[in-house]
């Protein structure tokens, strides 16, 4: 398997990988009313906005089986997401009503509410670690060092662009991720309930 830069046409494969790993690393198919939601929040906006910071894992038979995507300036990216990317989906996924969400709200309602709430400068660690990433690998690729190689590839690209720090947010119930990131140079930071933030200097 090899790592190469993202290229237009990879989007359907990335969306499928995102879905197959969205439930704390497990397959999230059918967990929401609309499976497309995962990719439209967590991977497709990144390759639309910053294709130069997107890399994929490709097999010998040209299947894309993993990816890493990043934003070099999280605050600017979140402002773009809020102003330009997400409004296109307002009719398809309207903002759930109720503050806070009612107990009866679905998991999809919670994720849609998260998308509407995204904005630049919301993370207290954003100044020290301005870039952030999302990485996903199908189970068949795991345990082969590809996650480390993807992270190193993105870090090299960010460093070449003058970015000084990188962070990510993992679900606290994703035990594989929680164990993995310290092994590739990330340190845990104080985090909101239900999540674990990791960061590294570049």
> What is the distance between the alpha carbons of residues 30 and 43, in angstroms, rounded to a whole number?
18
Is 202 in contact with 194 (CB distance < 8 Å)? Answer: no
Is the confidence at residue 137, as pLDDT, over 90? yes
Per-residue pLDDT reduced to its tens digit, 83-132: 999 999 999 999 988 777 766 678 899 999 999 999 887 778 888 999 99
Confidence category of residue 56, pLDDT binned at 50, 70, 90: very high
> What does DSSP assign to residue 73?
S
Per-residue pLDDT reduced to its tens digit, 139-182: 888 888 999 999 999 999 999 999 999 999 998 888 888 999 99
Question: Superfamily assignment of 2-201 in CATH?
Answer: Gcn5-related N-acetyltransferase (GNAT) (3.40.630.30)
Q: What is the pLDDT of residue 12?
A: 98
Q: What is the pLDDT of residue 67?
A: 98
Per-residue pLDDT reduced to its tens digit, 2-37: 999 999 999 999 999 999 999 988 999 999 999 999
Kindly give, in sequence order, each residue whose CB lies less than 8 Å from that of residue 98, ignoring residues fewer than 6 positions away: 105
> What is the distance between the alpha carbons of residues 23 and 41, in angstroms, rounded to a whole number?
14
Q: Is the whole-model pTM more than 0.85?
A: yes
**Where do the structural domains in the chain lie, given as residue ranges?**
2-201
In the chain, which ranges are E strands? 2-5, 54-58, 64-71, 131-137, 165-171, 187-189, 195-201
């Amino acid at each position: 398997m090899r790592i190469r830069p993202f290229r237009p046409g990879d989007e359907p494969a990335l969306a499928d990988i995102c879905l197959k790993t969205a439930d704390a690393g497990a397959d999230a198919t059918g967990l929401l009313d609309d499976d497309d939601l995962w990719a439209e929040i967590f991977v497709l906006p990144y390759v639309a906005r910053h294709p130069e910071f997107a890399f994929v894992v490709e097999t010998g038979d040209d299947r894309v089986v993993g990816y890493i995507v990043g934003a070099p300036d999280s605050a600017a990216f979140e402002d773009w997401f809020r102003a330009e990317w997400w409004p296109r989906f307002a009719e398809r996924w309207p903002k759930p009503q109720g503050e806070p969400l009612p107990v009866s709200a679905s998991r999809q309602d919670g994720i849609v509410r998260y998308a509407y709430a995204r904005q630049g400068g919301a993370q207290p660690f954003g100044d020290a670690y301005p870039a952030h990433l999302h990485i996903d690998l199908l189970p068949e690729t795991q345990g082969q060092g590809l996650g480390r190689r993807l992270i190193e590839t993105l870090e090299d690209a960010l460093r070449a662009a003058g970015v000084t720090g990188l962070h990510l947010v993992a679900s606290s119930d994703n035990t594989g991720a929680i164990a993995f990131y310290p092994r590739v140079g990330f340190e845990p930071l104080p985090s909101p309930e239900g999540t674990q933030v990791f960061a590294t200097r570049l």
